[in-house]
Structure 1
Amino acid sequence: MIKPLKIIQSDPLLEEFQFVIQQRIDATSKKEKELCDSSLSNFANGHHYYGIHRTDQNWIIREWAPNASEMYLIGDFSEWKENPKYQFTKDDNGNFELVLDLDQLDHKDLYKLILHWSDGSGERIPVWSNRVIQDSDTLLYSAQVWYPNETFDWQHEKKRQKYNSPLIYEAHVGMATEKEGVGTYNEFREFVLPRIHKAGYNTIQLMAIQEHPYYGSFGYHVSSLFAASSRFGTPEDLKGLIDEAHSLGIMVIMDIVHSHAVKNELEGIGNFDGSPHQFFHADERREHAAWDSLCYNYAKNEVLHLLLSNIKYWLEEYHFDGYRFDGVTSMLYYDHGLSRDFTSYKMYFDAEQDEDAICYLTLANKLIHEYNPNAISVAEEMSGYPGLASPLDDGGLDFDYRLAMGIPDYWIKLIKEQRDENWKVGNIFYELSNKRAEEKTISYAESHDQALVGDQTLIFRLLDKAMYDSMDKSSENLIVDRGIALHKIIRLLTLSCAGNGYLNFMGNEFGHPEWIDFPREGNNWSYKHARRQWSLLDNTSLRFENLNEFDRDMIALQNESNFMQASNIKCLQADEDNQVLAIQRNDLLFVFNLNPSKSLTYYGIPATPGKYQMVLNSDHPKYGGFDRINENILYRSKPEAAMARNHRVYLYLPSRTALVFKHIPSKPIF
């Protein structure tokens, strides 16, 4: 009898699919052996061969373009025309190579390629280019030779950390400043990084790093896989940002997009050598109808070489500490997960999955952990694919974490559809803490998705127009009072029930009032809503400061106690009549009174015998609360009856408050 895989031991309902799961394990192992003799890291070195490289003797430029018959390098050096001096030679494998003397190219020279194929030709940006810039007048893109005389000096390698409970600050460099324009890597390093460090987050997730021609795509329509977006600065600027983050003990992960690519032919790689299927599917699967983009063909070894090399490149060249993989659900299914509701396990194993994509994702994760054992990978995946964040040998895809994408949707649904007095605390606990036993998850109340124009952040849903005229600390507004109280409760509830990590999008920690709307024709190309208004936070007369103070102390609580490392989240009480929820995690007792109007006196909660010291109180005035609690009281548990072993701690619970107590063991008094 075959011993069940670990994910089946954890979830017996998967037993009938063990054969399919084992097939996927075997297919990955077979593909790895096919690709490399030694290690994936040695295989994923395409960036060391392809692209432009400077040696002591010459420049060497290589590209793979099997459908092309001729290739030329063009630039100022050739008057942007084809010149036999800059014609590549082609080998039998479709590789083109050009060798130039050192004096024929200089650092910062602009260049492109001209490719010819049987029925046409075209200018192209090299696939493996590591620097691409846009002309401010013509708006056209060109590759740029980027070989500064001095290599970047990494100063803080020894300070790089790994956290088992990532507290992720999701950030976009371009919209991170207050100016109505595009922020830079240097501005982020100088002005935003200190805020993140002060806020206590231990990991930064940088969005929109890979070059993308349309700024408003949020970085998800990638054109150049290996080029750090030049609209934010130079490669050295980005390295400086990451190095300084490391000096502060902060990990930096990148939002990587291997789920699809931009359709633009002049900037992208969709028709690089005149063939639409060089890197992408050739049939109806080529275009992603929902995203207006192209879908990679993960069955081709050349595509695996490209993408796996890209994985290694950012870890090696920029010292990123891992990745958040975009659009994993879209990769897993032929229909991109758009036409199924995932109410049955059969939907994960019904032959409608892209087995090649599953294989690629598993190899990518194996490569990440092989190259840097301290690096992490996070999957944006909403279908609930079993084993997503389980090791390959256990039957999984080897991601470290799954984003708990259902949680923000749950909060939105609750706020939109139910009155506060009808919120069911037991259901809230279930929705926030429910996860696969074998997986680690990253919880969040909202991310950039909820902040985009057309949607609403939590604070906007809670306050609506009152945000614009009633956020002054001197003003009195019941809508604002409710919104601020619930904003704090929702975030602490999400954190306290988090599987193994937590995520926040920049600005949401203080209730940023504006949505995100990138410059476009519909808003007259305005940057008004593509920025962060830090001045609102710094204005001590406004309540944004209160929300920020609470978030900072909430995050500090996790940093000090590391309660998220406790896999067991014990629900001590779910009182639906009074809307009181009590949770124990490690030595912390979290108590939430969600009742909109009822404060409870001498309210007993089941508790471990001992003393309880209050360590966080959402009702404190510095958090915008009403100061209804004496924080200096040391609470002692009491037996439920004479000589009883079961104890309760009796508390005063003001309406709409969240309280956290630290348990101090002591000998029970009977």
Structure 2
Amino acid sequence: MKSNTIMLEIIKNDPWLEPYADVIEERYNYIINKEHQLTKNGKIGLSDFATGYLYFGLQKTNDGWYLREWAPNATEIFLIGSFNNWQREESYRLKRLEHGIWEIKVPLDRIHHLDYYKLFVCWNGGCGERIPAWSKWVVQDKDTHIFCARVWDPPTPYRFKHNHFIPDRSPLLIYECHVGMATEEEKVGTYDEFRIHVLPRVKENGYNAIQVMAIQEHPYYGSFGYHVSNFFAPSSRFGTPDELRQLIDTAHDMGIAVIMDLVHSHAVKNEFEGIARIDGSYDLYFHSDPNRRYHKAWDSLCFDYGKNEVLHFLLSNCKYWLEEYKFDGFRFDGVTSMLYYDHGLGTVFTHYGDYYNGNQDIDAICYLTLANKLIHQVNTDAVTIAEEVSGMPGLGVKPEAGGYGFDYRMAMNIPDFWIKIITEKKDEEWYPSTIWWEMTNRRADEKTISYAECHDQALVGDKTIIFRLIDADMYWHMSKLVPSTEKVDRGIALHKMIRLVTATT
């Protein structure tokens, strides 16, 4: 389909984009055509398309258990688990259907709540155990440290009290958190502990939203949840699926929206835990070209957003978390890496031409736009946020206006500015005009989320703002039992000012 000859609103609002109108319109038309393809020219909606989680994986029906997997390169597949002593039995052999889909039906009395299971997949030249790509709960053995899918089918599943919570956006005040780290004890925290001990403090401190990291299952805890292996499985390190549901429901009770940190920018390369080589091939969900498939900076695998099956997987994942857990939206991680063929690494974005020079992945742009359209179809009050550092125009503009549909983009210049001014400037060089410019320098037609610091600054080999200001005096002079110091007094005052200025501009 061709766009109208009428100029797109994004270009109308910013005349500096006019030289790139052809590229912007090409992307716009590409997205429209892809949506028509996925929705059969509008016969179904994006929400109807994104229902893979109701078909694939382990499904319980009135007439038996079904398990389906997309594995076109496989030559044979067996369902193995604690219910058949992990043996490759003929009665647990999957049957190949059309389009590379495999299926098995198992009587209801053979699989039970808390059973363990995997797939044993064979392909030309090899075989191996694999965790199904659509698994909804994956656990790690405490002794062997091996990950395995597990059945979650409790006799009395959790029932939500709040089926349609509406976030307060006047304004959104977001507390970023990690359930496992939200405890003073030297251990991994749990969903229940967070619900009981942390949520009340979040509410008391005036926040109306939390952004939760590390929800999707990940084999390496030190990745902060950003090397995802099982996209439909809430991390079992913190508890059960229903304990996460109760956490979200309790937050809604308190008027707190729950935004999920969603990782669709890459996947862990582990074969035994994740979706890498699930059918023996290297490029099922990922690029065929090794240079595009492997993310050298992150040591992970990059999705091929040009495949309709990948779009089905990822869009279904968005809908799954909204419908099954009542998340109120997503903060999309690593958007810059998705947008550019070189992941934006080493690129200095100084001119509009840097956003329209052919280095942009139109398939990734298409996926992000379709994801935003889908999310807002499923829940019109959902919140979507882009973590993006290049400044790509249009991220926070509606798709019909030529944008990519996010509600907000993160103002990622601000935390870097505070680090720079703290480390490089004297107090008398903290010029109000410079601070005002950095706090308010944003696109007029896009909403932003401003923040003084997040885990990228505070945890990943760096310091929090308060530690940068006070440093070692933190340990000795922040007690009522000992006198304060000028460094502590200055640090506390500047810390308050930084948070106030960031929050109010």
TM-score of the aligned structures, taking structure 1 as reference length: 0.73
Q: CA deviation at 1:147?
A: 1.0
Aligned to 1:75: 81
> Given the alignment of the two structures, is residue 308 of structure 1 paired with residue 315 of structure 2, yes or no?
yes
Q: CA deviation at 1:393?
A: 1.6
Matched AA of 1:480: V
How many angstroms apart in 1 are the aligned matches of 2:365 and 2:207? 32
Aligned to 1:336: 343
SS in 1 for 2:341: coil
1:417 aligned residue (421, 424, 429): 424
1:478 aligned residue (464, 479, 486): 486
How many angstroms apart in 1 are the aligned matches of 2:169 and 2:488? 36
1:109 and 1:429, CA in 2 relative to 1: closer, same or farther beyond 3 A? Answer: same
Aligned to 1:459: 466
> Given the alignment of the two structures, is residue 20 of structure 1 paired with residue 10 of structure 2, yes or no?
no
Q: CA deviation at 1:163?
A: 2.0
> Given the alignment of the two structures, is residue 469 of structure 1 paired with residue 472 of structure 2, yes or no?
no
Aligned to 1:166: 172
> Given the alignment of the two structures, is residue 384 of structure 1 paired with residue 387 of structure 2, yes or no?
no
* Equivalent residue runs for 1:63-212 within 5 Å: 63-157=69-163, 160-212=166-218
1:359 and 1:85, CA in 2 relative to 1: closer, same or farther beyond 3 A? Answer: same
Matched AA of 2:456: D
Comparing both structures, which one devotes a greater share of its residues to helix? 2
How many angstroms apart in 1 are the aligned matches of 2:46 and 2:233? 22
Aligned to 2:354: 347
Q: CA deviation at 1:157?
A: 3.3
Structure with the greater alpha carbon radius of gyration: 1
Answer yes or no: is the 8 Å Cα contact 1:4–1:15 preserved in 2.
no
How many angstroms apart in 2 are the aligned matches of 1:117 and 1:325? 34
Q: CA deviation at 1:476?
A: 2.8
1:280 and 1:247, CA in 2 relative to 1: closer, same or farther beyond 3 A? Answer: same
Matched AA of 2:294: E
- 1:237-290: CA deviation from partner (whole Å, max 9, x where unpaired): 000000000011111010000000001000011110000000001211011000
SS in 2 for 1:388: coil
Task: List alignment gaps of at least 5 residues for structure 1.
Answer: 498-670
Q: CA deviation at 1:304?
A: 0.2
How many angstroms apart in 1 are the aligned matches of 2:459 and 2:466? 13
SS in 1 for 2:468: helix
How many angstroms apart in 1 are the aligned matches of 2:164 and 2:379? 14
Answer yes or no: is the 8 Å Cα contact 1:168–1:201 preserved in 2.
yes
Task: List alignment gaps of at least 5 residues for structure 2.
Answer: none
1:31 aligned residue (34, 43, 48): 34
Matched AA of 1:111: Y
- 1:188-243: CA deviation from partner (whole Å, max 9, x where unpaired): 00000000011110011110000000000000000000000001000100000000
SS in 1 for 2:330: strand
How many angstroms apart in 2 are the aligned matches of 1:428 and 1:8? 29
Aligned to 2:407: 400
How many angstroms apart in 1 are the aligned matches of 2:19 and 2:136? 47
Answer yes or no: is the 8 Å Cα contact 2:168–2:208 preserved in 1.
no
2:220 aligned residue (210, 214, 229): 214
SS in 1 for 2:21: helix
* Equivalent residue runs for 1:514-593 within 5 Å: none
Answer yes or no: is the 8 Å Cα contact 1:110–1:144 preserved in 2.
yes
- 1:540-570: CA deviation from partner (whole Å, max 9, x where unpaired): xxxxxxxxxxxxxxxxxxxxxxxxxxxxxxx
Q: CA deviation at 1:3?
A: 3.6
How many angstroms apart in 2 are the aligned matches of 1:310 and 1:326? 14
Answer yes or no: is the 8 Å Cα contact 2:130–2:272 preserved in 1.
yes
SS in 2 for 1:302: helix
Aligned to 2:445: 438
TM-score of the aligned structures, taking structure 2 as reference length: 0.97
SS in 2 for 1:242: helix
> Given the alignment of the two structures, is residue 248 of structure 1 paired with residue 251 of structure 2, yes or no?
no
447-456 vs 309-318, which deviates more?
447-456
How many angstroms apart in 1 are the aligned matches of 2:170 and 2:313? 30
- 1:505-538: CA deviation from partner (whole Å, max 9, x where unpaired): xxxxxxxxxxxxxxxxxxxxxxxxxxxxxxxxxx
1:177 and 1:479, CA in 2 relative to 1: closer, same or farther beyond 3 A? Answer: same
Matched AA of 2:104: L
Q: CA deviation at 1:2?
A: 4.3
